Amino acid sequence: MFRLTSSWVWDFWFADDGETYHLYFLKASRALVDPDRRHLRASIGHATSRDLVEWTEEVDAIVPADEPAWDDRATWTGSVVHDGGTWRMFYTGVDRRGHGLVQRIGMATSPDLYSWTKPDPPLVLEADPRWYETLEQDAWRDEAWRDPWVFRGDDGWHMLITARARTGDPAERGVVGHARSDDLVEWTVLPPASEPGSGFGQLEVTQLAEVDGRRVLLFSCGGQDLSEPGRRGGVWAVNVSGAGVGPFDVRSAYRLADESVYVGRLVQRRDGGWAMLAFRNEDVDGRFVGEITDPLPVGWQDGRLTLLTDEEPRAVPAEARRAASGSLPGRD
């Protein structure tokens, strides 16, 4: 379990240098009291581990820039890749000028996964209004263009993005955004890699992985962003056939874990097995928790990726609930 006394932690991603797992995560001070305020106070923390269980917190990786900048309000979810001796982190930023409502994607580089430098001028990737919904359409609460998942394909580098289609029922415009690059510097935004109308208002923190020889797309979506009223959200999986990048059949998505956890991330252990980590989202009373689970083993059962554990979402003690929610003793 990874938990910080002074900060909530939520969305996260990994880099693996072959010896050490590097965990990058969103963090914000518990002194904010209301966890809903954390999003516009977020920076990117860093921790390391040899076993995905015991973690050592390191110096923060990335913080919001000084004004004016594309990421001067908050820095959000990303991914890390290695290329030619350089580690590159692609991450989300929002700015003060846009009141945190317009999301963009940028990059930082590192020689060692500890010290990160933002390029000058910055690399900034924005939603292309030919295919993607923008804030001007006034169909959603923000301009969704975040959570880049970057990986190498047969024809170069690809980026999967949390985005919304320009057309369709506003409650079901969630799609997998897509961009491609030859060199990780110059990017071309492409049409979505999935279709709207799949029942999801947004597909957050996507990850494409190959688990035991079978490809799967993971994403998260909460119940409030599902088009079907009363349906519970959580971590979702889509089986992927073929070797290309989409189209992903999001209509076939099945739930891997409920909303007690969120942002499922698949990672391969040193013994070759696969596990999922997620952040603890809700306690038994529905309060935000803000910590990251231990590895939960996964495997294929009846054609679906499945958590191979009997562990139930555990109740969080009252003291921890108060700390997670920012409540003071005696004021529940």
Per-residue pLDDT tens over the stretch 144-156: 999 999 999 989 9
> What pLDDT, on the 0 to 100 scale, is given for residue 315?
34
Is the whole-model pTM more than 0.85?
A: yes
- In the chain the first and final C-alpha atoms are separated, in Å, by 25
CA pair distance 167, 54, nearest whole angstrom: 46
CA pair distance 54, 249, nearest whole angstrom: 37
Give the mean model confidence (pLDDT) for residues 41-49.
98
> What pLDDT, on the 0 to 100 scale, is given for residue 316?
36
CATH superfamily of 12-325: Glycosyl hydrolase domain; family 43 (2.115.10.20)
Task: Give the other-Cβ count within 10 Å of 4's Cβ.
Answer: 18
* CB 62, CB 74: distance < 8 Å: no
Residue with tokens 């990726």: 305
**pLDDT tens digit sequence for 157-171:** 999 999 999 999 999
> What pLDDT, on the 0 to 100 scale, is given for residue 331?
25
